[in-house]
Structure 1
Amino acid sequence: MTPAMVGSGESNKPENQYQKGVKHLVENGLHSVPKKYILPPSDRPGTNSEDSNVAKQNLELPIIDYSELLGPRRQQVLQSLANACEGYGFFQLINHGISDDVISSMRDMSGKFFDLPFEEREKYMTTDMSAPVRCGTSFSQTKDSVLCWRDFLKLLCHPLPDFLPHWPASPLDFRKDVATYAEKTRHLFLMLMEAIQESLGIIEGKETEGKDNILRELEDGSQMMVINFYPPCPQPDLTLGMPPHSDYGFLTLLLQDQVEGLQVHFQDQWLTVQPINNAFVVNVGDHLEIYSNGKYKSVLHRVMANSKKNRTSVASLHSLPFNCTVRPSPKLIDQHNPKRYADTNFDTFLAYVTTREPKRKDFLDSRKLTSVSVEEKEIK
Structure 2
Amino acid sequence: MSLAPMAAIVDLASSAQQLQQAMEVAEEEAKAAEQQQRLMPYSGSILMKGVRHLSDSGITRLPDRYVLPAPDRPDAGAGHDGLATTTTSVVKVKLPVVDLARLRDPSQRAAVLQTLDAACRDYGFFQVVNHGLDAGDVIAGMLDAARRFFELPLPERARYMSPDVRAAVRYGTSFNQARDAVLCWRDFLKLACHHPLRRDAVAASWPAGLRDVASRYAAATHGLFMELMEAALQALGIVGGVLGELAAAASHMMTVNCYPACPQPELTLGMPAHSDYGLLTLVLQDHVEGLQVMHDGRWLTVDPIPGAFVVNVGDHLEIYSNGAYKSVLHRVRVNSTRPRMSVASFHSLPAERVVGPAPELVDEAAGKPRRYMDTDFATFLAYLASADGKDKTFLQSRMLISSSS
Q: In the aligned structure 1, how far is the partner of 2:211 from the partner of 2:85?
A: 41
Amino acid aligned to 1:271: L
Quote how far apart the aligned CAs of 1:346 are. Answer: 1.4
From 62, 68, 88, the equivalent of 2:102 is: 68
From 23, 40, 64, the equivalent of 2:52 is: 23
From 168, 193, 209, the equivalent of 1:157 is: 193
- Do the aligned residues in 1 keep the contact of 2:275 with 2:315 (CA within 8 Å)? yes
- Please show how residues 104-115 of structure 1 align to structure 2 within 5 Å: 104-115=140-151
Q: In the aligned structure 1, how far is the partner of 2:403 from the partner of 2:374?
A: 17
Return the index of the structure with the highest Cα Rg.
2
From 35, 45, 57, the equivalent of 1:12 is: 35
Deviations 1:208-241 (A, max 9, x none): xxxx3x1111121100100000001000000000
- Show the counterpart of 2:127: 92
Show structure 1 runs of 5+ residues with no match: 1-8, 205-211, 375-380
Q: In the aligned structure 1, how far is the partner of 2:156 from the partner of 2:311?
A: 32
Moved more, 184-193 or 336-345: 336-345
From 312, 316, 320, the equivalent of 1:287 is: 316
Q: Is it true that 1:366 corresponds to 2:397 in the alignment?
A: yes
- Show the counterpart of 1:5: none
- Please show how residues 258-269 of structure 1 align to structure 2 within 5 Å: 258-269=287-298
Moved more, 18-27 or 137-146: 18-27
- Show the counterpart of 1:271: 300
- Show the counterpart of 1:3: none
Aligned residues between the structures = 356
- Do the aligned residues in 1 keep the contact of 2:371 with 2:403 (CA within 8 Å)? no
- Do the aligned residues in 1 keep the contact of 2:293 with 2:331 (CA within 8 Å)? yes
Quote how far apart the aligned CAs of 1:322 are. Answer: 1.2
Amino acid aligned to 1:118: L
Give percent identity, aligned residues only: 52
Q: Is it true that 1:318 corresponds to 2:347 in the alignment?
A: yes
- Do the aligned residues in 2 keep the contact of 1:254 with 1:281 (CA within 8 Å)? yes
- Do the aligned residues in 2 keep the contact of 1:13 with 1:126 (CA within 8 Å)? no
Q: Secondary structure, in 3 states, of the residue corresponding to 2:128?
A: strand
Show structure 2 runs of 5+ residues with no match: 1-30, 79-83
- Do the aligned residues in 2 keep the contact of 1:54 with 1:271 (CA within 8 Å)? no
Bigger relative contact order (CA 8 A; separation at least 6): 1
- Do the aligned residues in 2 keep the contact of 1:114 with 1:121 (CA within 8 Å)? yes
- Do the aligned residues in 2 keep the contact of 1:55 with 1:270 (CA within 8 Å)? no
Moved more, 159-168 or 255-264: 159-168
- Please show how residues 108-147 of structure 1 align to structure 2 within 5 Å: 108-147=144-183
Q: In the aligned structure 2, how far is the partner of 1:295 from the partner of 1:104?
A: 35
Quote how far apart the aligned CAs of 1:272 are. Answer: 0.5
Q: In the aligned structure 2, how far is the partner of 1:275 from the partner of 1:246?
A: 20
Shift of the 51–267 alpha-carbon distance from structure 1 to 2, 3 Å rule, reads: farther
From 118, 122, 142, the equivalent of 1:83 is: 118
Amino acid aligned to 1:163: V
From 198, 201, 206, the equivalent of 1:167 is: 206
- Please show how residues 212-291 of structure 1 align to structure 2 within 5 Å: 212=241, 214-219=242-247, 220-291=249-320
- Do the aligned residues in 2 keep the contact of 1:37 with 1:149 (CA within 8 Å)? yes
Deviations 1:28-79 (A, max 9, x none): 3311111101000111111231885775331121011011111111011111
Quote how far apart the aligned CAs of 1:195 are. Answer: 0.5
Shift of the 270–51 alpha-carbon distance from structure 1 to 2, 3 Å rule, reads: farther
- Show the counterpart of 2:379: 348
TM-score by length of 2: 0.84
Q: Is it true that 1:203 corresponds to 2:239 in the alignment?
A: yes
Q: In the aligned structure 1, how far is the partner of 2:147 from the partner of 2:162?
A: 21
- Show the counterpart of 1:377: none
Shift of the 290–275 alpha-carbon distance from structure 1 to 2, 3 Å rule, reads: same
From 368, 375, 400, the equivalent of 1:337 is: 368
Q: Secondary structure, in 3 states, of the residue corresponding to 2:334?
A: coil
- Please show how residues 39-54 of structure 1 align to structure 2 within 5 Å: 39-49=68-78
Q: Secondary structure, in 3 states, of the residue corresponding to 1:67?
A: helix
The runs of at least 4 aligned residues of structure 1 exceeding 6 Å deviation read: none
Q: In the aligned structure 2, how far is the partner of 1:198 from the partner of 1:53?
A: 42
- Show the counterpart of 1:194: 230
Moved more, 112-121 or 125-134: 125-134
Deviations 1:115-174 (A, max 9, x none): 1110011011123211111111111101110011000000001232131122112x2xx1
Larger helix fraction of residues: 2
Deviations 1:182-207 (A, max 9, x none): 00000000011000010000123xxx
- Show the counterpart of 1:328: 357
Quote how far apart the aligned CAs of 1:352 are. Answer: 2.3
TM-score by length of 1: 0.90
- Do the aligned residues in 1 keep the contact of 2:91 with 2:299 (CA within 8 Å)? no
- Show the counterpart of 2:19: none
- Do the aligned residues in 2 keep the contact of 1:132 with 1:166 (CA within 8 Å)? yes
Amino acid aligned to 1:294: G
Q: In the aligned structure 2, how far is the partner of 1:197 from the partner of 1:372?
A: 18
- Do the aligned residues in 2 keep the contact of 1:55 with 1:269 (CA within 8 Å)? no
Deviations 1:264-302 (A, max 9, x none): 111111111011100000000000000000000001111
